[in-house]
Amino acid sequence: MSKKLLGMSDLYYRYNKESVERKGEIRMDIKMKRRFDEKNLPDMKSIFSEVDTYAKDVTIGETLFFKEKGVKSEGEYKRQMAASHKVMKHSHIGWNSWQATAEGFSKIYEELKKAGTTIDRFGVALDWVMGVPVEYRNRFQAGGSLIFQNEDEWKQLGQIVPVQPHLGDHMIGSLNSLENTTLGLKAGVTTIGNISHYYTYEYPGLDMEEYRTIDTMKAIALMGKFREQGTIIHSNLDDGFGAQFHDLANMVGYARLERYIVEDLLGAGMCHCFGNLFSDPILRIVFNCAMGKINRYDTPGSMIYGNTIDYGYNIPRNYGAMASFSMADAIGQMHYPSGHAVCPIPVTEATRVPSAEEIIEAHHTVDMMIEKAKHYGEFIDYAKVEAETDILVTCGNIFFERVLNGLDSMHIDITHAGQVLAALKAIGVDQLEANFGVGMKKEHVMRGRVPVRPTSIVQIINLQQDEVMKKIDGLEKKPLDGVNIVIGATDVHEFGKELCKNILAAAGAKVFDIGSTISIDELADTIIETESQVAVVSTYNGMALSFARDMLKKFREEKIQLPIIMGGRLNETMEGEDLPVDVTDQLKLLGINADNCAETMVSYIIEAIKE
């Protein structure tokens, strides 16, 4: 593979087995969890040829936002705003009907306009069933987000108010990538994601991974056909593999891998979103700077998401967290303008899908942060910020190079986008970080390496688990010694799972972690295979009750009887409700422990096993 193809003159991708073995950089003990043979994918020339023909019938619609701003795409507008160091604002909308969504658009826009402020973009959270081809959707229980019923509803996205719509969830990377991307473009949506979902979101019951990979490639290539018109592919790192990395340097390298696949192999524009799992406000500025330094085509960003890991049930503390992250993001955009919009997360986010009033309130709060940011920004040591950035970028480049070299040595065609996508997913973050990570090797640390710069999630997990462990009497006596426990998360959000896993391991349990976006079949099979006595399930995406019912049905079929603990966001959308409601009491009636308290988890398991 030539350097010209990769477009990176400073790196060498040809695998050099002798030098790698001498330096001990790559430990090739990788086990790939393949769902299909990536060698059977169509060649890249065939993919491009098919998309060339398909694209002739696709046109980008004109939104009210484009008309008002006098632009042809959101990318064009963002370049203007970045050039003037203007801080833009974004809000994510997660209601479950088009009527509620349209009414919410109008209410938020009009109220903010009346107060003399603005909002630049709305992110529309589609329900997970939207990521499935229409003919299969009746097989699935809807979550709590929006489902378009027809093409007319798609077309209305940008015609309610002059705020530009953004589509991320269950678009590119899903089983319905090409169709959803086409409908989004026709509606005038020019920033579309979320490629990270390819790695972490699953559609249980549909074994269509090869189809999904091909469809994802086609959707990316289609976006590439309109790249000159300003289309941008969005990837929320924290919704994909990024959320699972322990080392920020490796995460930067992974972002480069995504850029390589999208930009160099498939010809589309690419931007990265982050922030959900970034608690340290200065680290948010550093990481924004790092993303800018690997952005070789100067593609505008989508949004920097608000920090949600500091949010809990203490609303005043949530206001403090919002002020902290939004101030940092505003400063970052003033000094390192990347086109990302600041995303104020309403303080109720940890407990429910926020209402229009709560979103409006969040924007008023963040307006003050933006107003004051310029005063703080003048006194930040940007030389120190950039020195820290250079460490992340330099180490990220090493990780990126090692991964490509490793894939090449495993006979993956690293000029074929689909083969690279499939291989990365089959390997997974744990093995990528353990084998190719840049941290110093050390026994008895997570993944066998000391992070160059630990992620916020790792720092917080360590702090919170220490606090919880201090409150658990007799933990040092290993009260769960000899107890096998299976743990997993129903979606990509792994924070609660990691916290519980570490506490249970400290209590002496043998914990079998089956990862994120688990299937019920996988959970049942692991319980049987490991002879586990307890199941622990973390959930976040508004599907707690339906998952619990399906899980119990499967357990009855398999004659599995054991204590079950569920925690996280225990809610679900009910018929007649626009927003998900708490289902804790219903879960308890099913016999599930839904106390949502890590401090009492060990004592509960001890008593439950006795019974």
* 163 C-beta neighbours (distance < 10 Å), count: 24
Interstrand relation of 484-489 and 534-539 (parallel, antiparallel or unpaired):
parallel
Give the residue with greater pLDDT, 586 vs 514: 586
Whether the CB-CB separation of 44 and 265 falls below 8 Å is answered with yes
Which run of H or E residues covers position 406? helix 382-409
Q: How many residues does the chain have?
A: 611
CA distance 527 to 518: 13
How confident is residue 15, by pLDDT bands cut at 50, 70 and 90?
Answer: very low
Whether the CB-CB separation of 282 and 312 falls below 8 Å is answered with no
Q: Is the pLDDT of residue 236 over 60?
A: yes
Give the residue with greater pLDDT, 541 vs 131: 131
> At a CB cut-off of 8 Å and minimum separation 6, what does 309 contact?
276, 277, 279, 456, 457, 460, 495
Q: Using alpha carbons only, how large is the chain's radius of gyration in Å?
A: 23
Tokens 């809807």 belong to: 142
Mean pLDDT, residues 92-115? 93
How confident is residue 89, by pLDDT bands cut at 50, 70 and 90?
Answer: very high
Q: Is the pLDDT of residue 62 over 80?
A: yes
How confident is residue 451, by pLDDT bands cut at 50, 70 and 90?
Answer: very high
Q: Is the pLDDT of residue 207 over 70?
A: yes
End-to-end CA distance of the chain: 62
Q: Is the pLDDT of residue 553 over 80?
A: yes
Mean pLDDT, residues 133-151? 88
Whether the CB-CB separation of 493 and 541 falls below 8 Å is answered with yes
Of 239, 195, 186, nearest in space to 215 by CA: 195
Supply the pLDDT for residue 575.
Answer: 72
How confident is residue 576, by pLDDT bands cut at 50, 70 and 90?
Answer: low
CA distance 110 to 160: 11
How confident is residue 430, by pLDDT bands cut at 50, 70 and 90?
Answer: confident
What three-state secondary structure class fits 482?
coil
How confident is residue 578, by pLDDT bands cut at 50, 70 and 90?
Answer: low
Mean pLDDT, residues 103-120? 96
Q: What is the pLDDT of residues 329-382, one digit of tens each?
A: 999 999 999 999 999 999 998 888 889 999 999 999 999 999 999 999 889 999
CB contact burial 26-48 (16+ within 10 A = b; e otherwise):
beeebeeeeebebeebeebeebb
CA distance 509 to 507: 6
Supply the pLDDT for residue 361.
Answer: 96
Supply the pLDDT for residue 153.
Answer: 93
CA distance 156 to 188: 10
Q: Which two tokens stand for residue 493?
A: 């959000």
Q: How far is CA 516 from CA 280, 441, 493, in A?
A: 24, 26, 7
CA distance 298 to 9: 17
Whether the CB-CB separation of 76 and 230 falls below 8 Å is answered with yes
User: Cα 65 vs. chain centroid, distance in angstroms?
Assistant: 27
Supply the pLDDT for residue 324.
Answer: 95
User: Cα 292 vs. chain centroid, distance in angstroms?
Assistant: 19
For all residues of the chain together, what is the average pLDDT? 90
Supply the pLDDT for residue 200.
Answer: 87
CA distance 593 to 425: 33
Tokens 């959803």 belong to: 180
CA distance 336 to 488: 38
How confident is residue 494, by pLDDT bands cut at 50, 70 and 90?
Answer: confident
Mean pLDDT, residues 71-82? 96
Q: Which two tokens stand for residue 559?
A: 């004659």
Whether the CB-CB separation of 108 and 356 falls below 8 Å is answered with yes
CA distance 496 to 492: 11
Mean pLDDT, residues 145-156? 92
Q: Is the pLDDT of residue 595 over 80?
A: yes
Which run of H or E residues covers position 272? strand 270-273
Mean pLDDT, residues 224-247? 93
Burial group, residue 97, by CB count within 10 angstroms (0-12, 13-18, 19+): middle
What three-state secondary structure class fits 342?
strand
- Return the amino acid letter for 247: D
Is residue 405 reached through a cis peptide bond, with omega within 30 degrees of 0 on the bond before it? no
Whether the CB-CB separation of 108 and 101 falls below 8 Å is answered with no
CA distance 340 to 332: 10
Q: What is the pLDDT of residues 458-467, one digit of tens each?
A: 777 777 888 8
How much helix, strand and coil, in percent to the nearest 5, is found in the chain? Answer: 50, 10, 40
Kindly write down the DSSP assignment for every residue of 130-141, as one continuous string. Answer: GGS-GGGGGGS-
Q: Which residue stretches of 437-518 are H helix?
A: 456-470, 495-506
> At a CB cut-off of 8 Å and minimum separation 6, what does 372 contact?
327
What is the percent of the chain where pLDDT is above 70?
A: 94
Q: What is the pLDDT of residues 283-310, one digit of tens each?
A: 999 999 999 999 999 999 999 999 988 8
* 236 C-beta neighbours (distance < 10 Å), count: 25
Tokens 């993001």 belong to: 329
Query: Which of 82-86, 95-99, 384-388 shows the lowest mean pLDDT across its residues?
Result: 95-99
Of 563, 548, 569, nearest in space to 602 by CA: 563
Mean pLDDT, residues 172-177? 97
Q: Is the pLDDT of residue 93 over 70?
A: yes
CA distance 253 to 392: 9
> At a CB cut-off of 8 Å and minimum separation 6, what does 564 contact?
534, 535, 536, 537, 548, 551, 552, 591, 592, 593
| Extended beta strands in 161-256, E state | 164-167, 191-192, 232-236
